[in-house]
Amino acid sequence: MGKAAIIGAGSWGTALAVVLHNNGHEVTVWSAITEEIDMLREKHEHVDKLPGVKLPEDMSFTTDIKEACAGKDMLVLAVPSPFTRSTSALMSQHVAKDLLVVSVAKGIEENTLMTLSQIIKEEIPQAKVAVLCGPSHAEEVGRGIPTTCVAGADDKKTAQYVQNMFMNENFRIYTSSDVLGMELGAALKNVVALAAGIADGLGYGDNTKAALITRGIAEIGRLGVRMGGKLETFGGLTGIGDLIVTCASMHSRNRRAGILIGQGKTMNEAMAEVKMVVEGVYSAKAAKALGEKYGVDLPIIEQVNKVLFENKPAGDAVRDLMLRDRRDENGSFGWDEG
């Protein structure tokens, strides 16, 4: 069995700590927030973000990043995506050569358009880096509800190591070499989930949701393939699978924020009410910029940006999507003209 540290004590980090401990690993949880660590030590439960999930008495908690990193076989970087770079920089001097860092957050850095694993490699060049993502709400993973994710890495041995560390009868892990495709699907689906929530907030129905999910994965796939990802990835767990769960579940902070925006709240009001980092808000501008950089049409993502940052009425955004120019659903094939 191994020694692992969870860097970031939010709902997802806490849920993964439970998974690793249940698998027999020695687990340390780190947070920069003293009050959060005090709560975990005292109550052995994250009462704010993962209520009802009890943490074992022999799990360790610390605010000391050096202590968290020392002597570990694997570090799981679970802070929200806007803090990936700053936390990686904080960790860097304490990370031994070839120590494995697993990125489990989802996002694209707005000013650099880098994925989270690219940021980690830049800030902690001596580390091995992997990613873990898929349709996996912390509220369910923490309770042992059957869930399936994907471990991605540049080499097969590293991906299989992550697979072996996390996998159990309730948490099935596949492996993939398409790290870029995995991260793009995981990040961009949050923007589409905002759109799905906005549609819910406007009172639209299942037909609208199905259209947004289907056309949303088409956008993500077009961009991802142009950037070098594999088309099959976007039809898998970290593409359509993650998009479905994020658009359909009330566990999704992106969908919940979207609902509030659809009901007339501003972006900031919605984020304040959700009380958690809404990753899609931080990825929306980056997604739009990537579309422009690679010359890919992203109509849903463009309209989400206009609603979030240009105060466009949500109803007008949906109307403009519906009234776009007529076109084939799939331009790669057509009719036999003979």
Adjacent-strand bridge partners of 76 = 6, 102
Which amino acid makes up residue 174?
Answer: Y
d(CA 39, CA 43): 6
Largest Cα–Cα distance of the chain, in whole Å?
Answer: 75
Q: Torsion angle of alpha carbons 175, 255, 301, 319, nearest 10°?
A: 140
Q: Quick check: 190 and 277 in contact, CB under 8 A?
A: no
Identify the DSSP state of 168. Answer: B
Three-class SS state of 220: helix
Placement of tokens 């860092």 in the chain: 101
Which helix (H) or strand (E) segment holds residue 40: the answer is: helix 34-43
d(CA 27, CA 68): 10
Tokens of residue 35, six digits = 């009050």
Annotated catalytic, 189?
A: yes
Identify the DSSP state of 270. Answer: H
Three-class SS state of 149: strand
Closest of 107, 118, 48, 43 to residue 79, by C-alpha: 107
Active-site entry in 189, 209, 285, 288: 189
Q: At what angle do helices 279-294 and 206-227 cross, to 10 degrees?
A: 50
- Residues forming the active site: 189
